[in-house]
Structure formats: structure tokens, C-alpha cells
Amino acid sequence: MNASADQSIDYQRVLETIHRDIEPFLKQGQAAQYIPALSGVPLTKFGMALHTLSGETYLIGDAEEPFSIQSISKLFACTLAFRLLGESLWRRLGREPSGTAFNSLVQLEYERGIPRNPFMNAGALVVMDVLCSHFVRADTAVLQFLRRLSANQDVGYDSDVATSELERADRNIAIAHFMRSFGNLHNRVDDVVGTYCRQCAVEMSCVDLAKAVSFLANGGTVPWSRERVLDRSSAKRLSALMLTCGTYDAVGDFVYRVGLPAKSGVGGGIVAVLPGVMGICVWSPGLDRSGNSIAGRQALEWLTTLSGRSIF
């Protein structure tokens, strides 16, 4: 499929149909409770944006309102680490779905401190350790990368959310110490976890994120600036990891319904990629038990069903 073949689809109309029908799903689930600064975000928030490779943006609802990107940041941090280390990144990280909660510790003991994938918290902490070893300020490096990819210099992080998460970061601190005991974390635990919490507290809108992820829909090159972020093969590999590991321990059901590589976060955002066509982002704070936005997943399922476009 290519972008010109896609001009037959009226994406704005598809988005408006989704917006009309999504309301019952906005009452479901809960905003993330374990990060106090996120727990009060109204469940009625809903936004969605598409950014095509030919430069059009389609949007509905609260698509221009910044929200806490949380684990969506792991995709971009992993892109930076993969760019730095290439295939050797996989000496410290697996590439398999975990089938466990994103903040679980259980597999780390019998898998000798090697996290299953870069999108669970343990894996994201290893990625952050790689970035901390390479950059003087890894959080600034991730932030600058996100600003460039979204063409929005105003992207920043919410220090209240970062502090709020850090005050309750016992599990992430435990995971980091555990991996350090196996030699798979090289920097100080405080530095890695503090930097990770700031990375998760970055705020972006659906419009920013649809644009930021579009390099993956375009074989690794940012469509408007022509910056090559990843070579084509690496972009394929990262998208494949999103497909198999990007939506927590509900990934099988998510891919069954939606049919796109995606990465979700407990702020209620989900980014997705339709290769050769566009970057996508949806946001609504009500989460299911795995941590995926209920309305967000439903909207993506409708997008691929109504447009007839997915990777399959």
C-alpha cells in the first residue's frame, strides 16, 4: 500500500464517525491510580490525530491538548539506544513479549537480569542506562529528540508528574537494583530511575505524537525534514517490536483487534504506525487492567476496520 493508493479514503470522515460513537467507552476504566498526579485526569478526554507521509494532519476532539506520554517515551528512548548500539543492544535485552505486567519483577530472577523486551519497565530502565552512559543529560537528549521529531520546541516535561512518580517508584527502584545485581545496569540506580521518571513525564499532544512517530511509517526517515533516524531495516525491526511487545500483556488481543504496530502508555495515549501511509496517536485516560486506554484501543480498531487499512 502507498500513500497515493490511500487518497480514496476520507480520513476526516472516519475520525468523525469514531468521535460520534466513542462516548460510551469514555466512561470505562480508570486513569492510572499509582501516579497521583495522573489519577485525576477526566475520563471524558478523548483526542485522535493522523499525520500522513504527504504532510496532512487529521484530528478530532482533544487532539491538540498535551498529556503525559508515560511509556510511549520508551519507543523513542529505544530508538536512540538502538541507533547508538545497533544489534549489540540485544545482549542486554530480549525481544519477546513478557506475558506479565509492565512493572513485573518475576522473570528477572530466572532470566538473570535480562528483561524480556525494551517496552516493559525493566527493559526501559536498561535502555535508560545505555542513554545515561552516553549522554551527560539523557532526559534532555530524549526531550530534544522528541522536539525535533514533532517539530514542536515547546515539548517539555511536567515536573509534578515526575516527582509524583518518583515518590512512589519503589518497584522501579527494586527492578533497577535487581538488574544491577546481575551486572545489567551500569549507572547509579537513583540517576537511572530519576531520569526515567522525567522521560515518562514528558507531555505531548496527539498531533505532536502522530507526527513524531511518522518516521517509522516512512522506513526510518522523517517525512518532512528527510532526517534519517534509522535505516530501513532497523525501522522494520523496531516496528516489529511494537507489534509484539508494545501494548503490555494484552498485546495478542490488541493486535487481533487493531492490526497495527503500536505503543501505549498509562497516561492513556497510544501511538500506532500504518507503514507507507501515516503515524497515528489516540488519547483517552481510562485504562483497562493491562494499562491500555479502553477508548483508545476501540478508536484504533474502528480506524482500521472502517478504512480497511492495517498491516494485514
Nearest to ligand GLU of 115, 291 (CB atom): 291
Give backbone dihedrals phi and psi of 219, rounded to 5 degrees, phi first.
60, 25
We find the least distance from the C-beta atom of residue 191 to ligand GLU, in angstroms, to be: 16
| Residue closest to ligand GLU, measured at CB | 71
Element (H, E) at 303: helix 294-307
Nearest to ligand GLU of 98, 121 (CB atom): 121
Crossing angle for the helix pair 232-245 and 72-85, to the nearest 10 degrees: 140
Size of the chain in residues: 312
For residues 172 and 310, give the distance between their C-alpha atoms in angstroms, rounded to a whole number.
35
We find the least distance from the C-beta atom of residue 288 to ligand GLU, in angstroms, to be: 13
Which residues contact ligand GLU (rule: CB under 6 A)?
Answer: 70-71, 102-103, 121, 165, 172, 200, 265-266, 291
We find the least distance from the C-beta atom of residue 84 to ligand GLU, in angstroms, to be: 22
We find the least distance from the C-beta atom of residue 275 to ligand GLU, in angstroms, to be: 24
We find the least distance from the C-beta atom of residue 266 to ligand GLU, in angstroms, to be: 4
Give burial (CB, 10 Å; 0-12/13-18/19+) of 217. buried
Nearest to ligand GLU of 134, 168 (CB atom): 168
Nearest to ligand GLU of 83, 171 (CB atom): 171
For residue 293, give the 3-state DSSP assignment.
strand
Nearest to ligand GLU of 55, 252 (CB atom): 252
Give backbone dihedrals phi and psi of 57, rounded to 5 degrees, phi first.
-120, 130
